[in-house]
A and B are shown apart, each in its own frame.
Chain A
Amino acid sequence: GQSLEQPSEVTAVEGAIVQINCTYQTSGFYGLSWYQQHDGGAPTFLSYNGLDGLEETGRFSSFLSRSDSYGYLLLQELQMKDSASYFCAVRDSAGKSTFGDGTTLTVKP
């Protein structure tokens, strides 16, 4: 089976940089994804790492180290609207995704 660990809460101030870590134990690992969810609404896709290294998409970056079973999501130039829950998800070779319990990010003025 799959299991993922990520911090339950993170707090940062507007304009700062925050990193949300994710460690996983899995079989049949294919890639690591990140999703954002506002107020219990529909989760939305942020990024995907299938290979080791850094993927950058605007203010968001995601990193993966397959040998360490570890990844992180980096959010730069934080804005109030970034306050949300962030989920890492492991994708297996069958295409199924298993989610962590999420990290609640609170951005303060």
Chain B
Amino acid sequence: IAGITQAPTSQILAAGRRMTLRCTQDMRHNAMYWYRQDLGLGLRLIHYSNTAGTTGKGEVPDGYSVSRANTDDFPLTLASAVPSQTSVYFCASSDSRGGAGTGELFFGEGSRLTVL
């Protein structure tokens, strides 16, 4: 069982370049999320999607975009990377149905991005 697969696992990127972080889940969860985690801090929500075809903004959406063309895939794009976007990016999914249940988040192993 793969769960959540993220790619790449790490990347060094020049400022101004475009980058897409890929996220795929095989659990058929309806909701997916992108978080960033800066050193020593908690996870901050960038964007989320409660179901295929819909997306929403989290706490720190600026400079990022997402799409949810189908249930399994939720790519995160940095249109023009800046050094402040250096972080670890975690994709997550949950079987979230209007708030019912525990809303347990299943996380990928993270993508470590360095913008120079």
Binding site for B on A (CB under 8 A): 1, 4, 30-31, 33, 35, 40-45, 48, 50, 87, 89, 91-102
Contact pattern, B 14-53, Cβ under 8 Å of A = 1, otherwise 0? 0000000000000000010101010011111100101000
Binding site for A on B (CB under 8 A): 4, 31, 33, 35, 37, 40-45, 48, 50, 56, 58-59, 88, 90, 94, 96, 98-99, 102-110
| Total A-B pairs, Cβ < 8 A | 74
> A33 vs B108: C-alpha distance in the bound complex, in angstroms?
18
Among residues of B, the one whose C-beta sits closest to the C-beta of A28 is B99
Among residues of A, the one whose C-beta sits closest to the C-beta of B94 is A95
> A78 vs B36: C-alpha distance in the bound complex, in angstroms?
30
**Provided the pairs A48-B102, A91-B103, A95-B50 are in contact, do residues A101 and B42 lie with their beta carbons within 8 angstroms?**
yes
Contact B48 A50, beta carbon cutoff 8 Å: no
